[in-house]
């Protein structure tokens, strides 16, 4: 049995705003019987330009029904511009979280809202979501744009997560390589955007290299080790060999070897030079 939050159960057993508005200002319909869930969202604006009424009809599991119900509650009273900013995460958070495998229910809510808003603005017929651009997952009709968006907005890094959030890759699995490429592209772009200006990986002089190693340890590595009560000391840089000593908890840690590779060597290779090898000081000599 799923571990649903009390709020999910409440919205499933007592769904709010079930129905369809007769002459809506915006209507959005997403999903299909084949996919196992579908949602029709309609809304009407009040004289103040805010959403006065929002109603849903949903075919799907408990979390699909709860997500739809929550969505209608959330957007009531919002302006269209405010509603436009509601993300799938907001819906999940409103419900006190959703099981990871059910996150696609919150994405379906956000998608229906998007279609309904587009319909309100006179774009699209509100009946069906236009598949924009290249379809990557043919089993569930998920486009590159859809996948890029869930990866970006929910900081996903695994194919499995992408499947949980938008179903892509959950059928025949033949699109898994493509999804992986999309994740890499989106994550790559995000890293560039978030990271401080990346040092050009040109040939470095020895002094430059040592400085960069020090900076990277300070910025990327030491904070992570300290979280676990450990520390690191840079002893020497000899050609492409970086010699370090692990301190604190890291010194006696059974997984220190793993830490060295994952937490120390990987960022140094990324930010300094790809041919760096990190070695621990030799205690015996």
Partner 1 sequence: MNVYLDNNATTAVAPEVTEAMMPFFRDRWGNPSSMHRFGGSVAHEVEVARERVAALLGAHPNEIVFTSCGTESDNAAIRGALARLPDRRHIVTTKVEHPAVRTTCRWLRGQGCPLTELGVDSKGRLDLDDLAAAITDNTAIVSVMWANNETGAIFPVERIAEICKSKGVLFHCDAVQVAGKIPIDLSRTRVDLLAISGHKLHAPKGVGVLYIRRGTKVSPLIMGGHQERGRRAGTENVPYIVGLGRACELAMETMAEENVRVRAMRDRLEAGLLERCPGAVVNGDPAHRLPNTTNVSFEYVEGEAILLLMDQVGIAASSGSACTSGSLEPSHVLRAMGVPFTCAHGSIRFSLSRYNTEAEVDYTLEQIPRVIHRLREISPYVTSERSNASRAQAGA
Catalytic residue set:
35, 105
Binding to partner 1 by residue 167, rule CB under 8 A?
Answer: yes
DSSP H or E segment with residue 250? helix 249-252
Distance CA 179, CA 18 (A): 35
Cβ-contact 249, 229 below 8 angstroms: yes
Q: How many residues bind partner 1 (CB under 8 A)?
A: 30
Q: Are 26 and 117 in contact (CB under 8 A)?
A: yes
DSSP 120-149: HTT-S-SSS----S-EEETTTTEEHHHHHH
Of 88, 143, 163, 259, the residue at the interface with partner 1 (CB under 8 A) is 163
Residues 237-256 that bind partner 1 (CB under 8 A): none
Give the tokens for residue 21: 């508005």
Distance, in Å, from the CA atom of 201 to the CA atom of 198, rounded to the nearest integer, reads 8
Helix (H, G, I), strand (E, B) or coil at 47: coil
Comparing CB distances to partner 1, the nearer of 154 and 163 is: 163
Buried b vs exposed e over 7-31: b needs ≥16 C-beta within 10 Å?
ebbbbbeebbbeeebeebbbbbbbb
Site pattern 170..189 for partner 1 (x: CB under 8 A): xx------------------
* Least gap, CB of 78 to partner 1 (angstroms): 23
Q: How would you classify residue 245: left for phi > 0, otherwise alpha for psi between -120 and 50, otherwise beta?
A: beta
Span interacting with partner 1, options 10-18, 148-156, 188-196, 236-244, rule CB under 8 A: 10-18
Nearer of residues 12 and 271 to partner 1, judged by Cβ: 12
- Measured from the CB atom, is 138 or 247 closer to partner 1? 138
Residues 96-155 that bind partner 1 (CB under 8 A): 101-102, 140
- Which of 21, 52, 53, 59 touches partner 1 by CB under 8 A? 59
| 11, 24, 54, 64: residue in contact with partner 1 (rule CB under 8 A) | 64
Report, in angstroms and rounded to the nearest whole number, the Rg of the chain calculated over CA atoms: 25
Beta carbon of residue 88, minimum distance to partner 1 (angstroms, whole number): 17
Query: Between 154 and 216, whose beta carbon lies closer to partner 1?
Result: 154
Residues making contact with partner 1 (CB under 8 A): 2, 12-13, 15, 18, 20, 29, 33-40, 57-62, 64-65, 101-102, 140, 163, 167, 170-171
């Amino acid at each position: 049995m799923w571990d649903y939050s009390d709020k999910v159960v409440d919205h499933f057993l007592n769904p709010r705003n079930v129905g369809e508005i007769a002459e809506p200002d915006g209507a959005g319909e997403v999903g299909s019987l084949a996919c196992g869930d579908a949602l029709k969202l309609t809304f009407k604006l009040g004289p103040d330009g805010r959403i006065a009424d929002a109603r849903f009809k949903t075919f799907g599991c408990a979390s699909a029904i709860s997500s739809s119900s929550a969505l209608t509650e959330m957007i009531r009273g919002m302006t269209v511009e405010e509603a436009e900013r509601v993300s799938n995460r907001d819906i999940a958070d409103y419900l006190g979280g959703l099981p990871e495998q059910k996150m696609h229910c919150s994405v379906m809510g956000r998608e229906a809202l998007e279609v309904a808003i587009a319909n309100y603005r006179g774009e699209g017929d509100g009946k069906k979501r236009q598949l924009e651009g290249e379809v990557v997952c043919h089993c569930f009709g998920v486009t590159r744009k859809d996948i890029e968006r869930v990866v970006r907005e929910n900081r996903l890094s695994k194919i499995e997560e992408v499947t949980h959030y938008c179903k892509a890759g959950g059928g025949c699995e033949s699109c898994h390589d493509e999804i992986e490429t999309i994740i890499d592209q989106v994550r790559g772009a995000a890293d560039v955007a978030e990271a401080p200006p990346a040092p050009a990986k040109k040939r470095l002089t020895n002094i430059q290299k040592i400085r960069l190693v020090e900076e990277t340890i300070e910025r990327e590595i030491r904070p992570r080790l300290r979280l676990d009560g450990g520390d690191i000391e840079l002893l020497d840089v000899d050609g492409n060999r970086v010699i370090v000593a692990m301190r604190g908890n890291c010194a006696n840690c059974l997984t220190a070897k793993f830490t060295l590779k994952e937490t120390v060597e990987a960022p140094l290779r990324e930010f300094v030079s790809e041919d760096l090898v990190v070695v621990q000081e030799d205690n015996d000599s």
